[in-house]
Structures are given as structure tokens and as C-alpha cells.
Amino acid sequence: MAIILIIPLWKRASTNIPPFGKGGGGGIFTTICLFNYGLLSKRNGVKFKTIEWKGDRVRLLDQRRLPQQVRYLECADASSVAKAIRSMAIRGAPVIGVAAAMGIALAAQKAQSRQPGVFYKSMEKVCQKMRQTRPTAVNLFWAVDRMKRVLDQVDSSGVERVRKRLEEEARKIYEEDIEVNRRIGENGKILIHHGDGVLTHCNAGALATAGYGTALGVIRAAWAEGKRFRVFVDETRPMLQGARLTVWELVQEKIPVTLVTDSMAGWVMSKGEIASVLVGADRIAGNGDTANKIGTYSLAVLSKWHDIPFYVAAPTSTLDLNIGSGLDIPIEERAPEEVTHFGTKQITPKGIHVSNPAFDVTPNTLIQGIITENGIIRKPFKKNLFQLRASKRAG
């Protein structure tokens, strides 16, 4: 029998996760824990919803609680959505963009002024707040820019029309992301063969997107076609997105999965168990250098040594052709407690210096191909990525 537990934040269970409402943001949050995963609705081939527009609020699946609890956060304002992004309650480059867009649409709905100038200034501040949540994932900035272009029409269209159009644009970004991810899966599934071992890092699945996945979307599409293979998942320290999130997704789909620690990947490769490595991306530079979760670069080096093809799966919204190389990609530095603590317990000596970059950059020379919704981009990346952009603009 399913147990549904609804806990208002002021009565929430003891946890090391701080309440969202504290220190700004008047959003109302409710914890909903379903301990029977079988009750989760299946949409777009996935048994859960990562994010959902609810009219007067945004519902987010709290990824910090997985896999022990399926817990949804109800964000009643833009500040609450921004805080959810910063705290990694929701994470993954594509879905961060969707969340930011929905947060902006929510702010527009809540804004009281009907004067275009006042409305514009208040919404511009919300857009800036969203941009400041996570610096590396370019999808965030791409989505905010799309919403900003709608906002820029307020003088000619009026406040009420722009409110409606901002909600429509956020919904459109959501739907587009699901469709784009399905196309990535269809394009990339040819790279996986029956009997393969496929290694992935971090989480690039439905949890990182509006609802299908990039790297895991390729895996889902290959599995749905009837190919049978095994997925190896790095635990992905320090936040364990692989162990907590990717493994959970694959268990939901009944796809065979083997969890390994980050330091085991090279040994598993040396035994001939890995046929390909497939990861997502948070930003791709104009020359094909790719930023992804810390530890990805090490995997690419190991893949090169063992002559294993290394693929990146990402939507074209992840491309940042305005920067020449990975040297220009901003790398987020996160709190040292993510490394020094396990839950609430400190596992290191106190007062030590910690380096905790959330991402690293894989040079294009180590990448075999970039799987997008428009096909698999291969070397020379700079030429082919710019040709892709030109063809999309022409279309």
C-alpha cells in the first residue's frame, strides 16, 4: 500500500537540507513523499515528472532526496524556483533552463503593476536573479534570453498580453526539450550495439531534462529498439548523482546497471567491459570543448588510452559558439561541505582547504562525436558546429 506523507515545511522531518523559505522567497513548499514508486505516472516513457507547470506554482521533483524519497517541492514564486536551482533540488543543464523560464513566467503572473515600465523593471530583476543561480550551464542563459525577448515587447503589446506570452513561452521551452531529447535518443541509438557495456557519468537522464534525457535518452532509445546491453554508472562524487539518480532511473526502466566508484572506471575499461562512454554536457564551446560534471575529463583521458569511443549527448541549446574554447567556460566552485561532509557528518579534519569545482572541461581532441537533435556532429568540430548553427538559422 502506498503511503503519502504531506509535511508543511514548518513541521518537516529533521534533515540537513535547509528550508527554502528562509532568508528570502515567500514560496509555499510542501513535501510529498511516495514510498511506492509503482504509483508514479508514466509520461514520455518515464515514470515520474521532473518539473511541472501548475498554473499558480511550479512543481519540482526534489532530487536531493532520491532515491530514498520521491519528494516534490511546490514553488509559489520566482525566488523559490531560483533557490531550488542553486541548492540543486533541481539540476541538469536542460531542466535548469526550463525551471528558470517557468520561474520568470510565475513572477510575471504574480507581478501587480500594469504599467509597462514598472512591470519591465521588476521582471528584468527576476531575469537577472535567474542568471545568477548557476554559472556554467548555458541552457539557463539561453532560456532566460528567450523569455527576455518576450518581455521586451511589453511596451507594444501591453502587460497582460506579455504575462500570457511569458507563460506560453515557458510551456513551449518545456515541450521542446522533451521532443529534442527524443530526437537525440533516436540519432544516438545507432552507437549502442547488442551486448555492449556503456559507461556514463553523473546524470543526463529525465531528471536532468524536462522528461526524457540526453545521454540516458540515447540509452532509452536503444533499449526500446530491442538492443540488450549493460550500463555502467560512475557514482560521481561528491554529490553522487550517478549512484543516487542515474541508477534510480535505470532501475525504473529495468535496464541492467552496474554501479562503480569513480576510481574504478579505468580498471573496468582495461578488462574490456566498456564498448563506449556516453555523457551529457552543460556547455559546449565553439571548438567542441565540453564542460560537464567533474570527473568527465578523467573518463575521456581513460577512454583515449583504452581506445574506447567517447560521446557527448546534448541539445543545440547547450552550444555556446560565442566562446572559442573550453578555457573561456566559467566553472562553478561549490561549497566545501559537499566534500568534507557525508550528510550532516564531517568526515575530514576540520579547517582543511577544499577545492570543489562542479565541472571540468574535456578537450575536443578526446571526443568522438557530439549527439544532438540534428544529428551526430563529428570532427572538425569548429567547422561542423558553425555549419549546424548556420543551417538552423536558414531553416
Angstrom CA distances, 204 to 1, 58, 195, 250, stand at: 31, 22, 22, 12
H/E stretch holding 34 reads strand 30-34
Catalytic residue among 62, 282, 320, 360: 282
Using N-to-C axis directions, what is the helix angle for 138-151 and 116-131, rounded to 10°?
180
Cell numbers linked to 88 = 540543486
Contact 288, 370 (CB under 8 A): yes
Please indicate whether residue 145 is annotated as part of the active site.
no
Amino acid in position 272: G
Burial category of 13 from C-beta neighbours within 10 Å (exposed 0-12, middle 13-18, buried 19 and up): exposed
Nearest partner of 185 among 286, 258, 288, 280, judged by Cα: 280
Angstrom CA distances, 334 to 20, 48, 69, 132, stand at: 18, 28, 24, 14
**Any idea which residues carry the catalytic annotation?**
282
